[in-house]
């Protein structure tokens, strides 16, 4: 689909809703409560105004109340092809004909310039959760020789990657960093003795600092990718490396303002709401994983017309400061480039007509030139997050642990009086 949606996109969505209303007791009840007949929906605007969001907590609670699959279920057990679990726990049955997102992963792999016959080393977990197996299948379908690394056993993984001269890495960036450390412990040079050429980085944020570190360690070209356990793969980078192209072939995606719920145009920042299209064992309608993305405004030089996204962070901790939406993850991307810095906290106060923002940056070791560091940090923040912040360096122990990534629970302290 495209964003904003076309009438054809809406048509596919309505067909799915008609099927879901007929099959899923949970959604039949929801639609009836809203006085809604999906076949009568006129356009996307009416859909957005009348169909409620589904949050992960509702899925978890409903499965707990009606074990094991809950009332979302839309197919009998005999038709399940496989069964995955995601933290919660949430049980995710899949119909045999549901491809589980491998088709769009194959496209993402092609966009990385992977060649058929290359050896791909997949290090996502193959246990319980869907990620490892899904990625494995996609690389196999693309024509790679796939090594099922999984997680852990890092010395053995280094040996296997070396023996088979794996040229493609697929997994989290932190595990790749760990493999680099392990290789060095084994007396190897990661850039010479391992042969990774391209990397599919997923399931964690690839910060600019981590990307540079991994590129230096392995001489690898990394491609950032994001997805979500319930809705599958969402977007991946092309060789331009400026945002991730939305590859929502069987997903109806909406991007909505976190405060008003209104659709956001390319150029803005919005929260993702997704409806998987077509028959599913466990259908979800307007599922909101609480992920916020920036939508890049211009066409990508690579020629792919699909919308490009940049992941900002979780919706719960985002705040509007001086009129700009700020997520602690954006600030973290800046602070993580300075090795002296650890956790931080942003204190927002009302200073007359304008907000005043103070970044209390925790230091993990005493900086050689504190004033220069504070100045460099303030400049980098102004250029990246687009607001002016005062900077104060404090020992990291003064910053609560709950402010730390990836949750950033207490990373923003809002002392403004609410109107």
In DSSP terms, 285 is beta-bridged to none
Spell out, one character per residue from 302 to 341, where the chain touches Zn ion: x when CB under 5 A holds, - when not.
x-x-------------------------------------
Taking the complex as a whole, the smallest distance from the CB of residue 253 to Zn ion amounts, in Å, to 18
Looking at residue 85, the DSSP 8-state letter turns out to be E
Candidates 90-98, 100-108, 297-305, 384-392; binding stretch for Zn ion (CB under 5 A) = 297-305
Instruction: Pinpoint the alpha helices (H) of 245-369.
Output: 328-335
Nearer to Zn ion, 160 or 240 (CB): 240
Judged by CB under 5 A, how many residues of this single chain contact Zn ion?
A: 5
Axis-axis angle for helices 173-185, 208-218 (nearest 10): 40
Nearer to Zn ion, 224 or 340 (CB): 224
- Residue 394 contacts by C-beta under 8 Å, 6 or more apart in sequence? 360, 361, 362, 363
Taking the complex as a whole, the smallest distance from the CB of residue 294 to Zn ion amounts, in Å, to 15
Q: How far apart are CA 312 and CA 209, in angstroms?
A: 16
For the stretch 310-348, what's the b/e string if a residue is b when 16 or more beta carbons lie within 10 angstroms of its beta carbon? bbbbbbebbbebeeebbbbbbbbbbbbbbebbbbbbbbb
Nearer to Zn ion, 300 or 348 (CB): 300
CA-nearest of 192, 217, 222 to 205 is 222
Nearer to Zn ion, 210 or 238 (CB): 238
Nearer to Zn ion, 241 or 320 (CB): 241
Taking the complex as a whole, the smallest distance from the CB of residue 221 to Zn ion amounts, in Å, to 14
Q: Which of 51, 300, 399, 403 binds Zn ion (CB under 5 A)?
A: 300
Tokens encoding 23: 């099959």
CA-nearest of 239, 343, 337, 246 to 291 is 246
Q: How far apart are CA 96 and CA 171, in angstroms?
A: 25
The reply to whether 238 sits near Zn ion by the rule CB under 5 A is: yes
Taking the complex as a whole, the smallest distance from the CB of residue 239 to Zn ion amounts, in Å, to 7
Candidates 236-244, 247-255, 354-362, 376-384; binding stretch for Zn ion (CB under 5 A) = 236-244
Candidates 165-173, 238-246, 257-265, 291-299; binding stretch for Zn ion (CB under 5 A) = 238-246
Binding residues for Zn ion, rule: CB under 5 A, are 238, 240, 300, 302, 304
């Amino acid at each position: 689909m495209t964003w904003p949606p076309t009438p054809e996109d809406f048509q596919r969505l309505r067909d799915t809703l008609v099927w879901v209303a007929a099959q899923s007791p949970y959604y039949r009840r929801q639609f009836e409560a809203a006085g809604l007949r999906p076949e009568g929906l006129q356009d996307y605007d009416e859909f957005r105004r009348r169909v409620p969001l589904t949050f992960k907590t509702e899925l978890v609670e409903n499965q707990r109340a009606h074990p094991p699959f809950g009332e979302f279920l839309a197919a009998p057990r005999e038709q399940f092809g496989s069964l995955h679990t995601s933290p919660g726990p949430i049980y995710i049955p899949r119909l045999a004909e549901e491809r589980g997102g491998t088709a769009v992963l194959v496209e993402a792999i092609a966009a990385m310039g992977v060649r058929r016959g290359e050896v791909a080393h997949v290090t996502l977990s193959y246990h319980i959760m869907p990620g490892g197996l899904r990625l494995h299948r996609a690389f196999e379908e693309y024509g790679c020789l796939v090594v099922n690394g999984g997680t852990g056993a890092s010395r053995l993984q280094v040996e296997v990657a070396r023996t088979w001269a794996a040229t493609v890495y697929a997994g989290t960036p932190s595990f790749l960093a760990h493999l680099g450390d392990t290789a060095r412990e084994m007396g190897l040079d990661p850039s010479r003795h391992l042969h990774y050429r391209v990397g599919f980085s997923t399931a964690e944020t690839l910060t600019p600092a981590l990307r540079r570190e991994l590129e230096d360690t392995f001489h690898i070209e990394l491609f950032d990718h994001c997805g979500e356990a319930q809705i599958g793969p969402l977007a991946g980078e092309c060789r331009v490396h400026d945002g991730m192209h939305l590859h929502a072939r069987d997903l109806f995606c909406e991007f909505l303002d976190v405060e008003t719920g209104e659709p956001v145009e390319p150029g803005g920042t919005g929260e993702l709401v997704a409806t998987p299209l077509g028959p599913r064992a466990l259908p979800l309608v307007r599922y909101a994983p609480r992920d916020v993305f920036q939508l890049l405004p211009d066409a990508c030089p690579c020629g792919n017309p699909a919308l490009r996204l940049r992941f900002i962070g979780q919706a719960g901790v985002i705040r509007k400061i001086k009129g700009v939406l700020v997520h602690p993850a954006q600030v973290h991307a800046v602070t993580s480039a300075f090795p002296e810095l650890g956790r931080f906290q942003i204190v927002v106060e009302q200073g007359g007509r304008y907000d005043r923002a103070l970044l209390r940056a925790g230091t993990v070791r005493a900086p050689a030139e504190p004033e220069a560091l504070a100045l460099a940090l303030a400049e980098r923040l102004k250029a990246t997050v687009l607001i002016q912040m005062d900077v104060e360096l404090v020992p990291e122990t003064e910053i609560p642990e709950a402010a730390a990534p990836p949750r950033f629970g207490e990373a923003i302290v809002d002392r403004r009086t609410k109107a």
